[in-house]
Structure 1
Amino acid sequence: MSETAGRPLRADAERSVRAILEAAERVLAEEPGASLEQIAAAANVARTTIHRRFASRQALIDALASSAARQLARAVDDGRPDTAPPLVAMHRITANVLQVKSAWAFALELPSDPGSEAAALHEDINHRCLAVLKRAQDDKLIDAAADLDWVRRVYYALIGESLRGNTDDTDPDTLATRIIDTLLHGAGPHTRTT
């Protein structure tokens, strides 16, 4: 649930904030310099509604970054990174993350201010990713000598490249299988494990 000044929002205000954030994602992805008036029009709300919910354009952008980061964290949680078998967790998390990243590409590319909610969420996601990779390493899916931070960075790059200009295969499960297969086996001949 969203909050304004520490108070939970009513259901109608929550819907309004969600509509504003969704519109901001669409509008700013097309035109990063778009005005609050353009975002309000896309959200089907008055500009004053945006000003009631967000003190400034930057506050709206910060809220957009935090909202997208929360959705990304939920996508990771849904993959059961601590309890599912590592290969299952990696596949499910990857499919979930692909869906969130494709829906919130602009917001998730915003730089996070140190100390912000979005920065803290991204840091937590990085730690959870490393924990899943460590579990995969313990299960001998990843070489024991592999630098897991490097593996994490390669994994993130594979996800990013899968989303750039991908028009042939947009099914998240198919892309997740391809990403995990490439991460664990590279491009050489092998027997598939997923």
Structure 2
Amino acid sequence: MSKTPGRPLRADAERSVRAILAAAERVLTENPGASMEQVAEAAGLTRTTVHRRFTNRQALIDALAAEAASKLAEAIEDARPGTAPPLIALHRATANVLRVKAAWGFALGPAAAQSEQAAQIHEEIARRCTALLGRIQAQGAIAPDADLEWVRRVFYALIGEALHSEDPTTLDSGPDPDALAARIVDTLLHGVGPRAS
């Protein structure tokens, strides 16, 4: 994130990094081509301060992608995918992911370059998701011969489509993330065909 990733940041430096990342998310969501100067202005900091923390624009975007990926991993971990009842964990993880993805649209979107750190976090998230789907499969809610990698990709696609069909900035005030999560999970597990009576 900073020029010296091995050293912990002082509290004031940590605050400025958080302010820079929050400003970068806002500014880059509105204008993906925004400059470091525009980010600095939005953060209420000098350009020098931003450059002291991030050597260049790509370093800032990489740090933003890693921060957002970490928030996503925390949201999934909050659902206790390894220990909670599997269907409850899936619903909670889905709602949590919707909230994080709505808040970090640029950093989790295709416009943000994936840093090596972010890519590693996303690999671990995929592994955790597939393991949770395996627990659900073991309970009989997913067909025993289903390819869990395919199921995971469909699950990701449903989340993406749900976010694209709604204004993600209104998830807290508009559509209820829990209701949207229930719809996603229901579609994933039951499809759209008629239900047996």
Superposition TM-score tier, normalisation by shorter sequence: over 0.9
Q: How far does residue 9 in structure 1 lie from its aligned partner after superposition?
A: 1.1
Say whether residues 1:182 and 2:184 are aligned partners. no
* Gap regions ≥5 residues in structure 2: none
Equivalent residue letter for 1:186? G
Change (3 A) 1:36 1:3: closer
The separation in 2 between residues aligned to 1:78 and 1:189, in whole angstroms, is: 34
The separation in 2 between residues aligned to 1:143 and 1:3, in whole angstroms, is: 46
The separation in 1 between residues aligned to 2:83 and 2:105, in whole angstroms, is: 28
The separation in 1 between residues aligned to 2:143 and 2:57, in whole angstroms, is: 47
Report the secondary structure of 2:106's partner residue.
Answer: helix
Runs (4+) off by over 6 Å? none
Say whether residues 1:80 and 2:80 are aligned partners. yes
Equivalent residue letter for 2:32? P
The separation in 1 between residues aligned to 2:195 and 2:141, in whole angstroms, is: 13
Describe the superposition over 1:65-99 as per-residue Cα deviations: whole angstroms up to 9, x where unpaired.
Answer: 10000001101100101000110110010001000
Describe the superposition over 1:42-83 as per-residue Cα deviations: whole angstroms up to 9, x where unpaired.
Answer: 111111110110111111011001000000110110010100
Q: Which residue number corresponds to residue 32 of structure 2?
A: 32
Q: How does 1:156-171 map to 2 (within 5 A)?
A: 156-167=156-167, 170-171=175-176
Higher relative contact order (CA 8 A, sep 6+): 2
The separation in 1 between residues aligned to 2:180 and 2:22, in whole angstroms, is: 25
The separation in 2 between residues aligned to 1:31 and 1:16, in whole angstroms, is: 21
Q: Which residue number corresponds to residue 92 of structure 1?
A: 92
Change (3 A) 1:39 1:3: closer
Change (3 A) 1:107 1:27: same
TM-score (structure 2 length as normaliser): 0.91
Taking only the aligned residue pairs, the percentage that are identical comes to 63
Q: How does 1:41-120 map to 2 (within 5 A)?
A: 41-109=41-109, 110-113=112-115, 116-120=116-120
Describe the superposition over 1:112-149 as per-residue Cα deviations: whole angstroms up to 9, x where unpaired.
Answer: 24xx1100000000000000000000000101011111
Pick aligned residue for 1:172 from 149, 165, 177: 177
Q: Which moved more, 1:29-38 or 1:130-139?
A: 29-38
Q: How does 1:9-28 map to 2 (within 5 A)?
A: 9-28=9-28
Give the CA RMSD over aligned residues. 1.5
TM-score (structure 1 length as normaliser): 0.92
Q: How far does residue 10 in structure 1 lie from its aligned partner after superposition?
A: 1.5
Aligned residues: 188
Q: Which residue number corresponds to residue 127 of structure 2?
A: 127
The separation in 2 between residues aligned to 1:3 and 1:48, in whole angstroms, is: 13
Report the secondary structure of 1:55's partner residue.
Answer: coil
The separation in 2 between residues aligned to 1:38 and 1:9, in whole angstroms, is: 24
Report the secondary structure of 2:83's partner residue.
Answer: coil
